[in-house]
Amino acid sequence: MPVTICMINQKGGVGKSSSVYHLAGGMVEAGKRVLLMDLDPQGSLSQGFFGSVVVENIEAKDTVARLFTESAFFATLEQLAVPTRFDHISIVLANQHLAKFNTPEPESTGMLQYSVREFLREAVEFDIVLIDCPPNLYRCSWTALVAADYVLIPVPPEDFGTQGLRAVHQTIEQARKLNPNLRRLGHVISRSDKRLLIHRAYEQRVREIYQGNVLDTVVPEASAFKVSLAARSPVEFDMPRSQAAKLTRQLTREILDRINDKTPSLKVA
pTM: 0.93
Q: What is the pLDDT of residues 234-262, one digit of tens each?
A: 999 999 999 999 999 999 999 999 998 75
User: What span, in angstroms and rounded, lies between the C-alpha atoms of 221 and 40?
Assistant: 22
Per-residue pLDDT at 21 exceeds 90: yes
Angle 45-51-56 from CA coordinates, rounded to 5°:
85
User: At 125, which CATH number?
Assistant: 3.40.50.300
Q: Which domain holds residue 171?
A: 3-267
Q: What is the mean pLDDT of the chain?
A: 93
Confidence of residue 267 (pLDDT cuts 50, 70, 90): very low
Split into its structural domains, the chain has a count of 1
Under 8 Å CB-to-CB from 208, ≥6 apart: which residues? none
Tell me, what's the pLDDT at 264? 38
Residues β-bridged to residue 154: 188
The single-letter code of the amino acid at 189 is: I
The single-letter code of the amino acid at 84 is: T
Confidence of residue 269 (pLDDT cuts 50, 70, 90): very low
User: What span, in angstroms and rounded, lies between the C-alpha atoms of 64 and 78?
Assistant: 13
Per-residue pLDDT at 211 exceeds 60: yes
Q: What is the pLDDT of residues 183-197, one digit of tens each?
A: 999 999 999 988 889
On whether the CB atoms of residues 235 and 24 are closer than 8 A, the answer is: no
Q: Strand ranges (DSSP E) for 64-120?
A: 81-83, 89-92
